[in-house]
C-alpha cells in the first residue's frame, strides 16, 4: 500500500501535474490523520478495557470480603443482644432487691462483652490506594465508602468510651472474686454490689451502649446485604469482560 502511494506521488511529480499532486498530498495528510486518530482510539479503548478489568477484579475481591463480613456482623449482632439481655436482667434484679441467683454469674460475665467487629479493609484499602474513582458507578462508590467509614467510626467510638475496659480493670477486680470471659463472674458480696453506685452507673452505660451498637450492627448488616446485591448486579451486567479490539495492522 505504501509502495502504491509512493509510486503515484512520483508519477504526478514527473508529469508536473501540480494541482493533482496537491490534492493527493492533502488526501495523504487526511489519511495519516485518520490513521493517527484510529490508533489513539484503539489505545484509549485498550486503556479503558484494562481499567474496567481492574475495576472488576477489585470489586470482586470486595464482594467476597463483604460476604465474610456479613457472617461476622451476624455474630456481632447476637453478641450485642446477649449483652443487652444480660444487663437488663441484672438491673431488674438490682432494682427489685431480688436475692442472688447463680444464673446471674453468666449475666455478670456477659455485660463486658462489648466488641465492635471491624470490616476487613484489605480489598477496600487496595481500591483506595488505586483511587475510589476507579468505580464508575457513583451510587455504588458512595455506598462502599460509607460502609467502610461506618466500621471505622464505630470502632473509634468503642475505643473512646472503653466501657468494657472499665469493667475489666475496675469493676471485676473490685466486686468479683472470679471471672471467665463470657462464661461467668462471681460477685464477692451481692448485697454490697446492689448498693455500689459505680457498678450501677457502669451497668447503665452498658445498656445504653448495647442499644446503640445493636442499632448500628443491624444497620451495617442491611447495608452489607444491599451492597452485595448491587455489586453482584454491577459485576454481572456492566463489568462483563469485553472482546479484544480489531487490530488494523492485520488488514
Least confident of 106-110, 154-158, 185-189: 154-158
pLDDT at 204 over 90: yes
Cell of 172: 471485676
* Domain contains 245: no
Burial of 108 (0-12, 13-18, 19+ CB in 10 A): buried
- 3-state SS, one letter per residue, for the chain: CHHHHHHHHHHHHHCCCHHHHHHHHHHHHHHHHHHHHHHHHHHHHHHHHHHHHHHHHHHHHHHHHHHHHHHHHHHHHHHHHHHHHHHHHHHHHHHCCCCCCCCHHHHHHHCCCCCCCCCCCHHHHHHHHHCHHHCCCHHHHHHHHHHHHHHHHHHHHHHHHCHHHHHHHHHHHHHEEEEECCCEEEECCHHHHHHCHHHHHHHHHHHHHHHHHHHHHHHHHHHHHHHHHHHHHHHHHCCCCCCCCCCHHHC
Mean pLDDT of the chain: 84
* Domain contains 249: no
* Domain contains 204: yes
* Structural contact between residues 84 and 210, judged by C-beta atoms closer than 8 angstroms: yes
Least confident of 20-24, 227-231, 232-236, 247-251: 247-251
Tens digit of each residue's pLDDT (9 = 90 or more) over 26-82: 556 666 666 666 666 665 556 667 888 899 999 999 999 999 999 999 999 999 999
* Structural contact between residues 249 and 43, judged by C-beta atoms closer than 8 angstroms: no
The pTM assigned to this predicted structure is 0.74
> How many angstroms separate the Cα of 16 from the Cα of each of 26, 29, 30?
17, 20, 22
Domain count along the chain: 1
- The pLDDT value recorded for residue 248 is 41
Instruction: Tell me the average pLDDT across 107-118.
Output: 93
Instruction: Tell me the average pLDDT across 200-212.
Output: 95
- The pLDDT value recorded for residue 121 is 94
What sign has the CA pseudo-torsion 200, 201, 207, 209?
negative
- The pLDDT value recorded for residue 29 is 61
* Domain contains 14: yes
* Domain contains 251: no
- The pLDDT value recorded for residue 143 is 94
pLDDT at 13 over 80: no
* Domain contains 247: no
* Domain contains 250: no
Q: Whole domain around residue 16: which residue ranges?
A: 2-239
More confident residue, 16 or 159: 159
**Considering the chain, what percentage of its residues have pLDDT values greater than 90?**
63
* Domain contains 246: no
- The pLDDT value recorded for residue 161 is 83
Amino acid at each position: 500500500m505504501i509502495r502504491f502511494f509512493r509510486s503515484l506521488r512520483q508519477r504526478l511529480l514527473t508529469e508536473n501535474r501540480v494541482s493533482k499532486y496537491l490534492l493527493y498530498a492533502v488526501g495523504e495528510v487526511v489519511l495519516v490523520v485518520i490513521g493517527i486518530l484510529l490508533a489513539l482510539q484503539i489505545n484509549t479503548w485498550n486503556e479503558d478495557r484494562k481499567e474496567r478489568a481492574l475495576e472488576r477484579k477489585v470489586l470482586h475481591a470486595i464482594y467476597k470480603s463483604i460476604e465474610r463480613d456479613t457472617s461476622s456482623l451476624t455474630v456481632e449482632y447476637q453478641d450485642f443482644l446477649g449483652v443487652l439481655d444480660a444487663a437488663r436482667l441484672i438491673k431488674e434484679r438490682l432494682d427489685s432487691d431480688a436475692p442472688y441467683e447463680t444464673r446471674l454469674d453468666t449475666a455478670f460475665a456477659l455485660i463486658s462483652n462489648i466488641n465492635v467487629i471491624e470490616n476487613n479493609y484489605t480489598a477496600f484499602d487496595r481500591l483506595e490506594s488505586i483511587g475510589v474513582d476507579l468505580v464508575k458507578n457513583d451510587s455504588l462508590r458512595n455506598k462502599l465508602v460509607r460502609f467502610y467509614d461506618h466500621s471505622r467510626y464505630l470502632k473509634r467510638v468503642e475505643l473512646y468510651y472503653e466501657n468494657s475496659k472499665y469493667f475489666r480493670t475496675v469493676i471485676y477486680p473490685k466486686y468479683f472474686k472470679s471471672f471467665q470471659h463470657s462464661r461467668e463472674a462471681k460477685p464477692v458480696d451481692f448485697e454490697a454490689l446492689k448498693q455500689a453506685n459505680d457498678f450501677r452507673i457502669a451497668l447503665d452505660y452498658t445498656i445504653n451502649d448495647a442499644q446503640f451498637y445493636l442499632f448500628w450492627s443491624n444497620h451495617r448488616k442491611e447495608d452489607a446485604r444491599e451492597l452485595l446485591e448491587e455489586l453482584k448486579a454491577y459485576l454481572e451486567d456492566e463489568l462483563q469482560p469485553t472482546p479484544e479490539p480489531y487490530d488494523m495492522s492485520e488488514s
